[in-house]
Structure 1
Amino acid sequence: MSSGADGTPQYIRGVPHALPEGEHILWQGAPEALPIAKHVFHWRLLAAYFAVMTIVWATSTTLAFSSQDFLVSLLVRVGLSALVLAIVFVISGVVARTSWYAITSQRLVLRLGMVFEMSINVPFTILDSAGVGVFKDGTGQVVLTLTKPNRLAYIALWPHCRVFSINQPQPVLRGLRDAQRIGTLLAQAVADASEGAMRAPADSSRASASDPHLAPQPA
């Protein structure tokens, strides 16, 4: 197992097994609820839609504005709209609370599951590219593309995936406060792992050639 600087085993939160020897955690954290509500479930768009529909109804109804029937109908519409928005915020909170992202020196780990918890491992060897998106509120996301034919199940990733990437789901680290830094860290980790993988065979070849027990012996 992998150990930290003080010799203690390193664990990703929520994963019962320690990291393998030689692998270490570079970053781990959770998405934030409000950015998920805003950029995944689009609560502001929903609120605007309900407001417009309520105004259209109020200006087109035959009920008198001061009548009890009008007030009851208005309260029902406003109440249902508020209920839907409340559900959006509750789901966003559950997503944030049950999700955890981790970047190690060898892979990306997504611990997900609002109902059934699971850990999804994405080795750097199957990562094709990563892009960072930053929103006006300062939060952002990191979008990943896997090399074909590697594929993750859309239903297992949702909502941590691009909405319309159903045939070739793209994992997304959502609701990040410092997305640019995390994306840069991930890119550097992938580059370091790739460089280490290329260096290992060369080091092995040199070791074999210099080993007197493996060198050709005179007849």
Structure 2
Amino acid sequence: MAVTEYENEPIRGLPGYLPEGEHIVWQGVPDWRVFARSALYTRWIGFYFTLLTVLALVSGSLGGALLTAISGVLALGLLNLFAWGVGKTTVYTITNRRLVLRIGVALNKCINLPLATVGSASLRAHAAGHGDIALQLTGKHRLGYAVLWPHVRPLRLRDAEPMLRALPDAENVAAILRRTCSGVVPNARIDTDTAPAANIAPPRKAAA
């Protein structure tokens, strides 16, 4: 697996042309509105500032309430602007050999994850068919939490898990990932359950 910074992409979402025998199986982008709610917690932050504003009004501090409300609007505006930027600059790609995350709002970078390194994956469902897919990698890797953020499973600081965020039709993407991983690991058992947090990648054989 590798992290690559680049300026030009001959194929959308990829830093270079695919080698012979490799082809794109699926490609998609996060829904920025769902990303704002699920990854940046804009609803909770909005509720927090609303509560502070109400408390300031109850205590008789009109100026404090106004300042709090303005701060909340600015904070939510910046978070939604960042989420919009993530939606515009992020491309997730599954090929028959690897998974590629093109991420970075200010500076584009590609993270290449060979499918053979995906030990397991879990689907967390959101409303309207959206969802996140977290990937647990096998072996040693140098993908830090800060490098992956915000495309990373929350609070997994030590062993960072890349995450495909706010995917439309997430169950279908999970099914595609299952089939593709099955092609890399022949005769592996594939869990067909698509419930939230279900294991969707084929298990790895234990070392002899």
Structure 1 and Structure 2 fold alike (TM over 0.5): yes
8 Å CA contact retained: 1:12, 1:102: no
- Equivalent residue runs for 1:197-208 within 5 Å: none
8 Å CA contact retained: 2:14, 2:100: no
8 Å CA contact retained: 1:151, 1:168: no
- Equivalent residue runs for 1:75-86 within 5 Å: 75-86=66-77
- Equivalent residue runs for 1:30-49 within 5 Å: 30-49=29-48
Q: CA–CA distance in 1 between the matches of 2:13 and 2:118?
A: 23
Identity %: 34
**TM-score, scaled to structure 2:** 0.81
Aligned partner of 1:208 in structure 2 is none
Q: CA–CA distance in 1 between the matches of 2:185 and 2:142?
A: 21
Quick one: which of 170, 177, 191 aligns to 2:182? 191
Aligned partner of 1:206 in structure 2 is none
**TM-score, scaled to structure 1:** 0.77
TM-superposed deviation, 1:141: 1.0
8 Å CA contact retained: 1:141, 1:174: yes
8 Å CA contact retained: 1:151, 1:169: no
Aligned partner of 1:23 in structure 2 is 22
CA deviation string 1:64-120 (max 9, x = no partner): xxxxxx3x4433221111111101100100111111100000000001111221110
Aligned partner of 2:130 in structure 1 is 139
TM-superposed deviation, 1:16: 4.2
Aligned partner of residue 195 in structure 1, secondary structure: coil
TM-superposed deviation, 1:12: 4.1
Amino acid at match of 1:23: E
Aligned partner of residue 120 in structure 2, secondary structure: strand
Q: CA–CA distance in 2 between the matches of 1:15 and 1:117?
A: 11
How many residues align? The count is: 178
Aligned partner of 1:53 in structure 2 is 52
Alignment of 1:91 with 2:91, yes or no, is no
Quick one: which of 138, 162, 169 aligns to 1:178? 169
Aligned partner of 1:165 in structure 2 is 156
8 Å CA contact retained: 2:56, 2:64: no
Aligned partner of residue 122 in structure 2, secondary structure: strand
Structure with more of its chain in helix, by fraction: 1
Q: CA–CA distance in 2 between the matches of 1:133 and 1:151?
A: 25
TM-superposed deviation, 1:28: 0.5
Aligned partner of 2:96 in structure 1 is 105
Dislocated runs of 4+, deviation >4 Å: none
* Unaligned segments of structure 1, at least 5 residues: 1-10, 64-69, 197-219
Aligned partner of 2:7 in structure 1 is none
Aligned partner of residue 51 in structure 1, secondary structure: helix
* Unaligned segments of structure 2, at least 5 residues: 1-9, 188-208
8 Å CA contact retained: 1:32, 1:175: yes
